[in-house]
Amino acid sequence: MNKELELALSRLPTEKSWRLARWLLDTGADQFTLGCVWARSQEPHFCRAAEEAVATFRLPEAGPGLTHRTGRSTRDRTFWRFNEASLRVLQTLLPDGLFTDRQGADSGWLEDLMIYQGGHLRLAVSTHENQAILRLNDEQRQELLKLELLD
């Protein structure tokens, strides 16, 4: 049975957060979503560049209208394939790890990375709150403890 574990930025710095993303990939995660926000008075140059960077990973259909912890629908979100290549792109787009927070940047910023496996949410990052929810079972929790990804 999967449980939700809360993660905080203070416990998951950059390198450790990428190790967690790698672990999710290695254990079957296969899709992600990521929001880009910009000031409406500015040109969203960064958001356009980010969209181009992940364009080849775009899945043809939106996800099945999944909801995440806050109850918001994902129908309006673009889903991308989560694989080795897209992980490398994410590492360049999110230089400070899964919790990269560049709010207020004139040309846009990325937020709220969500990683899925078979249509089920595995990790939901709330960028502005500097925390995330990780869904895992007891065996996976023990594995992450051994890998020193959890305290």
Q: Which two tokens stand for residue 94?
A: 């999110």
Residue 82 vs residue 130, higher pLDDT: 82
pLDDT in tens, 105-125: 777 888 999 999 998 999 999
Kindly give the residue spans of alpha helices, DSSP state H, lying in 2-117. 14-26, 45-54, 84-93
DSSP code at position 67: B
Judged by average pLDDT, the poorest of 41-50, 60-69, 93-102, 107-116 is: 60-69
In the three-class reduction of DSSP (H, G, I as helix; E, B as strand; rest coil), residue 47 is classed as: helix
Residues 6+ apart with CB under 8 A from 146: none
Rg, Å, the chain Cα set:
15
Kindly give the residue spans of alpha helices, DSSP state H, lying in the chain. 14-26, 45-54, 84-93, 138-146
Does the pTM of the predicted model rise above 0.95?
Answer: no
Residues 6+ apart with CB under 8 A from 91: 18
In 3D space, the residue among 35, 17, 5, 38 whose CA is nearest the CA of residue 91 turns out to be 17
pLDDT value of residue 41: 67
pLDDT value of residue 77: 77
Residue 64 vs residue 84, higher pLDDT: 84
Query: Any idea where the domains of the chain sit in the sequence?
Result: 3-146
pLDDT value of residue 66: 45
Q: Which two tokens stand for residue 59?
A: 């899945």
pLDDT in tens, 6-17: 999 888 899 999
